[in-house]
Amino acid sequence: MFDNFLIAIILMLALYVSYWGVGRMSVWATNRGIMDIRSHDTYAENLENPVAAMMYGFSVLYCMSSALSKPDGAGLGTLGFPPAVCQQMGAEAGFSSFKFLEYEDDPFNNYFELRP
């Protein structure tokens, strides 16, 4: 019984992430910059998040495998795009200005602004 309940919760969360995470990220990225799940530069820092185990589970089962299915996909996973990685990848892509934006209304996501 518990296994079925756990599976149902995981599926609901996956649907939530698929609908709100990807959809909101696309819209926000088109208009202002990049939005991604709030993560930190080290594994130890990420473990301070009480839902880190669930996020790493999503990472392996959904995010990373989805990214690796694309040619040359980076496969960063759910917690693999902290500010340092965003800044590095932005610089490699030709962006010279990087800003980490904080929104008090959204404790779950990081927001970045990159400019040429």
- The whole domain housing 39 covers 2-115
Distances (CA, A) of 19 to 13, 22, 54, 96: 10, 6, 17, 32
Nearest CA to 100 out of 89, 112, 88 is that of 112
pTM attached to this predicted model = 0.68
Measured CA to CA, the distance from residue 107 to residue 41 in angstroms comes to: 17
Number of structural domains, the chain?
1
pLDDT of residue 10: 55
pLDDT of residue 19: 44
Please report, in tens digits, the pLDDT of each residue of the chain (116 residues total). 445 555 555 555 554 444 444 444 444 554 567 888 888 989 899 898 888 888 888 777 777 777 788 888 888 877 888 999 989 988 988 888 899 988 888 888 888 988 88
Give the count of beta carbons closer than 10 Å to the beta carbon of residue 97. Answer: 10
Burial of residue 79 (number of CB atoms within 10 Å: 0-12, 13-18, 19+): buried
pLDDT of residue 4: 56
User: Residues 61, 106, 9, 73: what is their CA dihedral angle, to the nearest 10 degrees?
Assistant: -10
pLDDT of residue 32: 65
